[in-house]
Structure 1
Amino acid sequence: MTGIAHSCGVVPSHDAPSLGRYGSSTAARLQDAFHFPALNTSVAEARRRVAAQLREWGIDEVACDDAQLVVSELFTNAVRHTDSEKVGCQLRLSGAHLHIEVTDQGHAATEPRARCSGADEESGRGLLLVGVLSKAWGVRPDDSGRGRVVWADLPHGRLPH
């Protein structure tokens, strides 16, 4: 059985520990936040922004590639499945973890969940990929209560300087 087929049971990690937004005493925490219009063209812009930032932080290429794929999938979902005008992204590097959050402004008809797609379907596998690449992922309401935040924690390595 392949990793993707086996992952059909992957669900968000609602009970996984989340990196807190406030009150950390970690000195080596790096973060970046940005937003783009909720347009298909913004997906590639977000992917490029993430790649540039992670390279600047000295993150290894495998982790950069994984993070770009996760951001691409989460951004695509926010653009396609919500009524948002803009989509936000936050990156936080803390220890050996990269925390990614993608925030939309408007609820979709259903909560994001991984699902098994048929071999002839062109979409529907994005959250399976997020689940495979992430140590944990989940969904929570945004601060306004109207939109939502889909987050993922990825392992990474830093390149020697």
Structure 2
Amino acid sequence: MPALATSVSAARSRVGRRVGHWGWPDAVCDTAQLIVSELFTNAIVHTDSDTVICRIESTGRALRIEVADEGPGLARRVPRAADGDAEAEGGRGLMLLDALAARWGVLVSERPAGCTVWAEIRP
């Protein structure tokens, strides 16, 4: 999808439809949509990507989400404390991912740029 703010909503909707089609509980669907929103937003805010790729897979025991960007490569991606300002909009994405996902990580691309952040959700 194009790396545009409007694509976040589209990715969220597509994931919601697919997860619902697979028969996962509503709570898993909601969590998947939230994680896709966070990862997709991070990809467009923190990289110069033209395209962001979102993949989703159901293994029956877990739901795996991957969001790939075309950014400058692997940066240190760890949850960090958000700005102390309650009005601040940023800084909570990876902390949220850490709280919602059963496990998550970052895959380094074989290309000189880009990486994929993945998360697994279990009911």
Output the TM-score relative to the length of structure 1: 0.71
Q: Is the 8 A contact 2:74 2:108 kept in 1?
A: no
Instruction: Return the letter of the residue paired with 2:114.
Output: G
**Are 1:53 and 2:18 counterparts?**
yes
Across the two proteins, how many residue pairs are aligned to each other?
121
Q: Which has the higher helix share?
A: 2
| Matched residue SS, 2:36 | helix
Pick one of 61, 66, 69 that aligns with 1:96: 61
List gaps (5 residues or longer) in structure 2: none
Q: Is the 8 A contact 1:81 1:108 kept in 2?
A: no
**Are 1:86 and 2:54 counterparts?**
no
Pick one of 135, 150, 154 that aligns with 2:102: 135
Q: Distance in 1 between matches of 2:51 and 2:76?
A: 19
| Matched residue SS, 1:86 | coil
Structure 1 residues 99, 47: CA separation in 2 closer, same or farther (over 3 Å shift)? same
Q: Deviations over 1:13-72 (max 9, x none)?
A: xxxxxxxxxxxxxxxxxxxxxxx1000111011000000111111111000000000000
Structure 1 residues 128, 72: CA separation in 2 closer, same or farther (over 3 Å shift)? same
**Are 1:77 and 2:4 counterparts?**
no
List gaps (5 residues or longer) in structure 1: 1-35, 157-161
Q: Is the 8 A contact 1:82 1:108 kept in 2?
A: no
Q: Is the 8 A contact 1:138 1:151 kept in 2?
A: yes
Identity %, equivalent residues:
45
Output the TM-score relative to the length of structure 2: 0.92
